[in-house]
Amino acid sequence: MRVAITGAARGTGRLLAEAFAERGARVFLSARDPVAAGRVADAISQRGPGRAVAFRCDLAAPDSVRGFAAAVADRTSHLDVLINNGAAYIEGDDLADASDDTIESVLAAGGTGTVLLTKHLLPLLRASSRPDVVNMISTCGEVGHRRSDAHPAFYAAKHAHAGLAEILSYRLRPEGIRVISLFPPDFVQDGPRRAESDLTAQSVIDCVVFAVGQPRDCFIREFHFEQVRSLNL
Ligand SMILES: NC(=O)c1ccc[n+]([C@@H]2O[C@H](COP(=O)([O-])OP(=O)(O)OC[C@H]3O[C@@H](n4cnc5c(N)ncnc54)[C@H](OP(=O)(O)O)[C@@H]3O)[C@@H](O)[C@H]2O)c1
């Protein structure tokens, strides 16, 4: 299986890259910092059984996005899974809580960058016999969601990503390309996996691996999660 993933030098993106490599995948992983991405790719390749190569991709910079897509196309004639994972998180109740530059880059990455990367990798996905696009969105991309402390620009970026996923899942379905989206609440990288505990990254990753592993008749379009009930609400 050949997998491309953004924002994979740390956090959930890294864990996703590792999870696919553990299952033997060849992973094209990218991050804003190519050195950090290279370290992750080396560790993955040493551990095996899958292999990973690292690339630079700043989703907020269209040339960098096109460069990543072209570099992947230089190394493979098809791609089975694209994981749109990278997205900068910013907090704040008020629009004024983030600078104009920060707002611009958050929307550029989650909106334009994600659309462009999907556009430029689509020919490789079309060449696969089992193509999937996985979108790491957020509850902030759900209509009516208000519970997060995220900045309004983060909500806007996640709604852009959700809008892209929604229409692509319908339009690409006839070609057999599944567009699978996850809308998790805040989750922890590590922690107990009990009913009263926060969602863990491992559980989110298990959902991705499960959906991608299904036979082609089974198109799981979205994962939504019930948050732990807070007594303050
Ligand atoms: N963790 C959560 O609670 C949570 C909840 C719901 C949804 N999500 C979503 O799940 C995905 C993974 O997040 P995470 O858990 O790993 O949290 P995170 O700590 O917020 O990580 C964000 C990731 O996106 C990357 N990124 C940020 N801006 C980027 C850009 N312009 N171009 C490329 N990559 C960029 C970061 O890379 P750098 O190392 O370069 O900063 C990092 O790898 C994100 O889409 C996030 O919004 C996370």
Residue 138, ligand 1, Cβ within 6 A: yes
Half-sphere exposure (CA, 13 Å, Cβ side) for 60?
Answer: 11
Query: Greater confidence, 120 or 232?
Result: 120
Does 229 score more than 80 pLDDT?
no
Please give the mean pLDDT across all residues of the chain. Answer: 96
Q: What is the pLDDT of residue 96?
A: 98
| pLDDT > 90: percent of the chain | 97
Domain annotation for the chain: domains and CATH numbers: 2-224 (3.40.50.720)
d(CA 36, CA 54): 9
Q: What is the pLDDT of residue 119?
A: 98
Does 148 score more than 70 pLDDT?
yes
Residue range 76-103, pLDDT digits in tens: 999 999 999 999 999 999 999 999 999 9
> What mean pLDDT is predicted for residues 49-71?
98
Q: What is the pLDDT of residue 18?
A: 98
Q: Return the bridge partners of 83, or none.
A: 5, 134
Does 38 score more than 70 pLDDT?
yes
Q: What is the pLDDT of residue 227?
A: 87
Q: What's the pLDDT band for 232 if we cut at 50, 70, 90?
A: low
Does 150 score more than 60 pLDDT?
yes
Which of 5, 14, 32 best tests ligand 1's pocket when mutated (most atoms within 8 Å of CB)?
Answer: 32
Q: Are 141 and 162 in contact (CB under 8 A)?
A: yes
Model's pTM, two decimal places? 0.97
Does 203 score more than 70 pLDDT?
yes
Residue 128, ligand 1, Cβ within 6 A: no
Q: What angle do CA 123, 80, 46 make, to 5 degrees?
A: 125
Distance, CA 124 to ligand 1 centroid (Å)?
A: 24
Does 233 score more than 70 pLDDT?
no
Closest residue by Cα to residue 117 from 88, 89, 143, 79: 79
Q: What is the pLDDT of residue 6?
A: 98
Does 231 score more than 60 pLDDT?
no
> What mean pLDDT is predicted for residues 29-55?
98
Distance, CA 7 to ligand 1 centroid (Å)?
A: 6
